[in-house]
Amino acid sequence: MPKVTAHDLMEKFNLKLISGEEGIYRPITTSDISRPGMEMAGYFNYYPAQRVQLLGKTELTFFEQLSDTEKVDRMERLCTYDTPAIIISREMEIPLQLLEASAKVGVPVMSSNLTTTRLSSTLTNYLESQLAPMTAVHGVLIDIYGIGVMITGSSGVGKSETALDLVRRGHRLVADDSVEIRQEHDGMLVGRSPDIIRHLLEIRGLGIINVMTLFGAGAVRLFTPIAMVVHLEIWDQTKAYDRLGLDEETIRIFNTDLPKITVPVRPGRNLAVIIEVAAMNFRLKRMGINAAEEFNQRLTNVITDGDREEF
């Protein structure tokens, strides 16, 4: 699992470090944000110390009503060696007791000019994206009419050449050779390219080309949700390939099943057109239009009508 630290939050959200500089590289391991309202009242039985603690106007207004002894106690119990960071919203004044407690155990205290609700939302979205489970798959990822299509297959089968043809047809390259996949939400897989090969495409005999430089910024995307997988394989004469499209094969990544189509490769087949049509057909299926099922129903009706005529 990738690591996120308070230092990353400072750079991403322009947070101002107030105290606890020695703890800015503490790892943040969960995307959940805690607003310690009950803790301000003294209830620490279920205090989630491993979360980023967010103090807003409500928490600090209640805190000001406490006695000096209670203030010290609350902040010392709030700052633990497991606490990755404490953030104050609205650039409100930082309580002296919090600064003293954070200095003892090295908890970074930061300030933001955002409102509490907006800050909580943006922090949660960022942490969910960065801490999502990630894996890498050998393949190519293309955005075709808004459908994220991952093309897989053995080395040399023609994945990159097909991607180049699709880019020339107006579609957008996301990743070539290696696709980093994160499960950001249940049922949603988001693919992107490793930074080192972003916008690059390797064509055997030609070398490495920069797709954005050659075709413009509209020919690339940084990331896209993955909707389907197209697997390319060398044509096997002994294998029976699906000719109707009734058989629905899937591939599981993390706990998400993606529809998978196997396309045999042999000279004369225009793979780019086939994959483009596969993406459009996928969109139609999501809209409730399934050509294979319609044909099957027509065939069933013809057979049924023929049996009736015999009687």
Strand residues in the chain grouped as ranges (E): 4-5, 16-19, 27-28, 33-34, 52-55, 86-88, 109-111, 134-138, 140-144, 147-153, 172-175, 178-185, 188-192, 200-203, 207-210, 223-225, 228-234, 249-253, 256-265
Q: Would you say 157 is a known binding-site residue?
A: yes
138 is catalytic: yes
Do the annotations mark residue 154 as ligand-binding? yes
Choosing from 57, 138, 204, 286, the catalytic residue is 138
Based on the residue annotation, tell me whether 32 is a catalytic residue of this protein.
Answer: no
Q: Which residue among 243, 252, 266, 308 is the active-site one?
A: 243
Residue 59 structure tokens: 């928490």
248 belongs to an annotated ligand binding site: no
Instruction: Answer yes or no: is 159 a known binding residue.
Output: yes
* DSSP 8-state code for residue 246: -
User: Catalytic pick from 26, 71, 159, 172?
Assistant: 159
Is 202 a known ligand-binding residue? Answer: yes
Token look-up 């939400």 returns: 185
Q: Is 3 a catalytic residue?
A: no
SS (H, E, C) 22-61: HHCCCEECCCCEECCHHHHCCCCCCCCCCCEEEECHHHHH
- Other Cβ atoms less than 10 A from the Cβ of 220: the count is 22
Cβ neighbours of residue 107 under 8 Å, at least 6 residues apart? Answer: 20, 23, 26, 79, 80, 83, 84, 85, 86, 101
- Name the active-site residue from 73, 177, 198, 283: 177
Give the integer Cα–Cα distance in Å for 296 and 241: 17
Catalytic residue at 159? yes
Residue 153 annotated as lining a ligand binding site: yes
Q: Is position 91 annotated in a ligand binding site?
A: no
Please report, in range form, the residues annotated as the binding site for ATP.
Answer: 153-160
Please report, in range form, the residues annotated as the binding site for Mg(2+).
Answer: 160, 202
Please report, in range form, the residues annotated as the binding site.
Answer: 153-160, 202
Which of the residues are catalytic?
138, 159, 177, 243
